[in-house]
Amino acid sequence: MNGHRVVVTGLGVVTPIGVGLEEFWEGLKAGRNGISRITQFDPSDFRSHMAAEVKNFSPEEWIDEKSVERMDRFVHFGMASSAMAIKDAGLNTFAFNGNRAGVIIGSGIGGAHSIEKGYSMLHEKGPKSLGPFFVSKYLINMAACMVSITYGLRGPLSAPSVACSTGANAIGDAFRIIQRGDADIMLAGGSEASVSPLPFAGFCATRSMSIRNDCVEKASRPFDKNRDGFVMGEGAGIVVLERLKHALSRSAHIYAELVGYGNTADAFHFTAPEPGGDGMVRVMREAFRDAGIDPREAGYINAHGTSTVLNDKIESAAVMKVFGDHGKHLKISSIKSMIGHLLAAAGAVEFVATVMSIYTCKLPPTINYEEPDPECPLDYVTKGVESIDLEVALSNSFGFGGGNACLIVRRYKN
């Protein structure tokens, strides 16, 4: 697609292995595991007992105390990540035009903690016990809206909800807005805080989560033959995308260039991926066509890699269909092995990792990979961080309901 070039100038994350870009990236390279037994509630009666929870996070570091009480945990994550991304991009000290700056931050579950607390108050104390900010605590768009309000971002505003591909869709949609000239700056990503009894019980009922409760630190094992399901995580990833000429005009630091976006639907099932991987194949091909890049130029895939039996097998097969013989030379990793599955935030946090891989030429490992699966025959990064000469990389995100998104990043060259 022709239009303005779009670059990445700011990164912010809240994750189970670190709050902030430096701690997150160092944790990935070290193969740090963020998964443990759940602490936010007693999981003893649940089918699965583990999650990747955000630790050592104080929302008061990013939000005034009065506002903290009026927001759900997922909004806290989104606000903190946005503050980090804005500071990283140098926008906190630059007088940008707010009418030309927008926000797209999605969520899948929204304010789960607030909904559960509100439901309990309603039945224990009656309807008058709910405060005036109850509704705004759980609305899926509230992370995006609060960021817009806080920083005076008066351009395009939206909050997609496409399950596990939400974060990637948000970034892709923001990319399109800048590309066609409707904004100079966009904050985009996803935020999720669903380690709460109701959504957790619901995901347990889908039988898609790991039940390796006797060895939780090895529960998330993408592409390993003995994988038995994903591990729920929480957190947020926000990026600053910017029109290249605008970034250059203010001498912004540029991490990488976003060059391609694909978005397709399986149109197949509530939760299961289409067995032939057609949607996954088409979304990668669409992204490469959009970028105007031959797939053989790619050197790395940050895979969706959930650690479920079906997803990992079908994603591997889809990669082989798209890349042919070149697929044997691609490096592939899944950071869900360390941070779990952040649901709507997954695609955004994984995009941050992909950008950092391009920027540093370092590939994070897939931990807990012990026994190869003949149905997942690709070159997975499993023996620690790898250094390669990397020019083009892609980040895959596939969601419940059949939503697929693919983002392609290229090393920035003026």
DSSP for 85-127, written as a single string = HHHHTTGGGS---GGGEEEEEE-SS-SHHHHHHHHHHHHHH-G
Comparing C-alpha atoms, which of 354, 384, 389, 350 is closest to residue 368? 384
Phi, psi of 259 (to 5 degrees): -120, -15
Token readout for 288 is: 């490469």
Buried b (16+ CB within 10 A) or exposed e, 23-36: ebbebbbebbbbbb
Q: What is the rounded CA–CA span in Å between residue 313 and residue 304?
A: 11
**Residue 200 identity (one-letter amino acid):** F
123 catalytic per annotation? no
Q: Under a CB-based contact definition with an 8 Å cutoff, are residues 143 and 177 in contact?
A: no
Out of 113, 164, 204, 406, which one is annotated catalytic? 164
Local structure of 3: helix, strand or coil = coil
113 catalytic per annotation? no
Q: What is the rounded CA–CA span in Å between residue 66 and residue 255?
A: 35
DSSP for 205-265, written as a single string = HTT-B---TTSGGGS--TTBTT---B-BB-EEEEEEEEEHHHHHHTT----EEEEEEEEEE
Q: Beta strand 256-265 with 331-333: parallel, antiparallel or unpaired?
A: unpaired
Out of 204, 304, 376, 406, which one is annotated catalytic? 304
Going from the C-alpha of 13 to that of each of 79, 170, 197, 236, 240, the distances in angstroms are 10, 15, 24, 6, 12
Burial class (CB in 10 A: 0-12, 13-18, 19+), 183: buried
Q: What is the rounded CA–CA span in Å between residue 1 and residue 6?
A: 12
Annotated active-site positions, please?
164, 304, 341
